[in-house]
Amino acid sequence: MVNFVHRRLKDLKLDAGFTIVELMIALTLLGGVLGVIYSLHSYGMVSFSRGEAQMVNQQEVRFLTKLLSEEIRYAETVKIYGSLYEAGSGGVCYTVKNGNVIQIKGDQEKPIADSGSEYSLQFESEEISGNLVVELTVSSGQGKKYEIRTKVLALNATLEEESQKTGSVLCVQGF
């Protein structure tokens, strides 16, 4: 009988499961693998969000550049002012107010770009071979800045006498 009990205890040791040390090692490895997977997923989500915000920023700057270029190209008169206070009435004016690009017609202000980025507009005029050319700079962004600079030939317009050569306010008439 003692022999039977002794043999039975031996069999129990052979049929034993995992030890606590083995379980702890397995859980530690599993935790490390899950931590790495979470870190990669989190990094991917942050990168995607930044890329999407940058895409929206670039898209709005391109839209503003196209809009302002067409306004200059087909306008009958172009006026550039250093500030909105210097701009007279009449026509359509574009400027930046509180970081957003706005269009002003008479007493009405309409936001053109207000995605949360800080926008900047700069206009510079010159005369080349008797034609008015306006250099237009549109920039946006706080951390990563995105900027487009282009020269636009005004097909029908002349620069008004009261206008300045450079400024941050553009007023056009006749488009």
What is the residue range of 116's domain? 46-173
Rounded to two decimals, the pTM is 0.72
Q: Is residue 52 part of a domain?
A: yes
Sheet holding 108-113: strands in order across?
A: 108-113, 100-105, 92-97, 169-173, 77-81, 158-159
Q: Is residue 36 part of a domain?
A: no
For the chain, give the mean pLDDT: 84
Q: Is residue 113 part of a domain?
A: yes
Q: Is residue 33 part of a domain?
A: no
Q: Is residue 10 part of a domain?
A: no
Indicate the pairing of strand 131-140 with strand 92-97.
Answer: unpaired
140 by Cβ neighbours in 10 Å (0-12 / 13-18 / 19+) ranks as buried
Whose structure tokens read 């951390």?
Answer: 143
| pLDDT of the residue at 174 | 78
Q: Is residue 38 part of a domain?
A: no
Q: Is residue 7 part of a domain?
A: no
Number of domains in the chain: 1
Q: Residue 56: pLDDT above 80?
A: yes
Q: Is residue 34 part of a domain?
A: no
**CA 171 – CA 168 distance, rounded (Å):** 10
Q: Residue 43: pLDDT above 90?
A: yes
